[in-house]
Amino acid sequence: MNKLSMKNRIKAELTSYNGKMGVYIDDFKGNKVEINADEEFETASAIKTFILIDLFQQVHDGTKSLDDKLIYTEENEIDGSGVLESLDFGVEMSAKNFATLMIIVSDNVATNIMIDYLGIEHINDTIKKWGFDNTVLHNKIDFEKYSKLGTSTPRDYGKAFSMLHDKTLISPEACEQMLEIFKMQHYNSMLAGDFPQYYLSGDDSLAGEDEQISVASKSGSMDACRNDGGLVITPCGEYVIVLFNKEFYDPLYYAGHDATRYGARVSRLVLDQYLALQGRLG
């Protein structure tokens, strides 16, 4: 057994972690890391990735349009992440704009509007159509009625971003449009929290130069879980990384949560290996 393999180095990194982490990593060159990859996790807002996929599926099928006008009404009021809950009822935007808010600031109101627009049954049919066999959207977001939002596995989530990378999900054009939305996602402290700031987007970064590193991802957090996953884009190429967490003792949500800290350490370990080997994990 290679004690210094990427899988064993990640396990060593997690020795003192008080929760359970599911890991799925693929460098698209034949090297994968899988730890609890087929175990079921609550998704929290990570399920919004699959809602976006169904939107683009229905647009591709001709039954919906990104330009359809949707309205924020009282029936979809919900607290939590996002900005729409702070606005007055009657806000009207395109389906694409609501979907973009659902992803980039994880807007819960926008999510419920999208679920009503697309239909839970159709969303789940699309999930199954593309082979995400262990993923389900259970309900709209309603913290008083429901204890869970969605369930998935690290492998399913990694497969979704792998297909986006390969341009094999719905259509190449749909994949490109979805990736552009995921690249604008604001909450990636688990995937990129320990990355060198010098290489990330910012006023003093190397924006536009070859050295820049970016992330196309969607995270999700609830009392029972802390998740993140997506593509890391580097000058050496791209890789998919998924880090799902559960069974930790601390349900509070804050930046320094153990799941976020250990996830960021694992993600940095993977980045360093990938760059050191110039685009490979092994």
Radius of gyration of the chain from its Cα atoms, rounded to whole angstroms: 18
Let me know: does 243 contact 22? Beta carbons within 8 Å: yes
> What is the C-alpha separation between 222 and 94, in angstroms, rounded?
28
pLDDT the model gives residue 258? 94
Determine, yes or no, domain membership for 96: yes
pLDDT in tens, the chain (282 residues): 677 899 999 999 999 999 999 999 999 999 999 999 999 999 999 999 999 999 999 999 999 999 999 999 988 888 777 788 888 899 999 999 999 999 999 999 999 999 999 999 999 999 999 999 999 999 998 877 777 889 999 999 999 999 999 999 999 999 999 999 999 999 888 999 999 887 776 544 444 455 589 999 999 998 889 999 999 999 999 999 999 999 998 888 888 899 999 999 999 999 999 999 999 998
Q: Show the domain range for 29.
A: 6-137+144-276
Determine, yes or no, domain membership for 281: no
Determine, yes or no, domain membership for 185: yes
Determine, yes or no, domain membership for 282: no
And the tokens for 69?
């006008």
Determine, yes or no, domain membership for 1: no
Determine, yes or no, domain membership for 188: yes
The gap between the terminal CA atoms of the chain, to the nearest Å, is 15
Give the count of domains, the chain. 1
> In sequence order, which residues have a C-beta less than 8 Å from that of residue 95 and are 6 or more positions away?
55, 64, 65, 66, 67, 68, 69, 70, 114, 117
> What is the C-alpha separation between 282 and 274, in angstroms, rounded?
8
> In sequence order, which residues have a C-beta less than 8 Å from that of residue 239 and are 6 or more positions away?
25, 26, 27, 28, 231, 232, 270, 274, 281
Instruction: Give tens-digit pLDDT for 40-66.
Output: 999 999 999 999 999 999 999 999 999
Kindly list the distances between the CA atom of residue 186 and the CA atoms of 177, 180, 202, in Å, as whole numbers in the listed order: 17, 13, 13
> What is the C-alpha separation between 15 and 265, in angstroms, rounded?
12
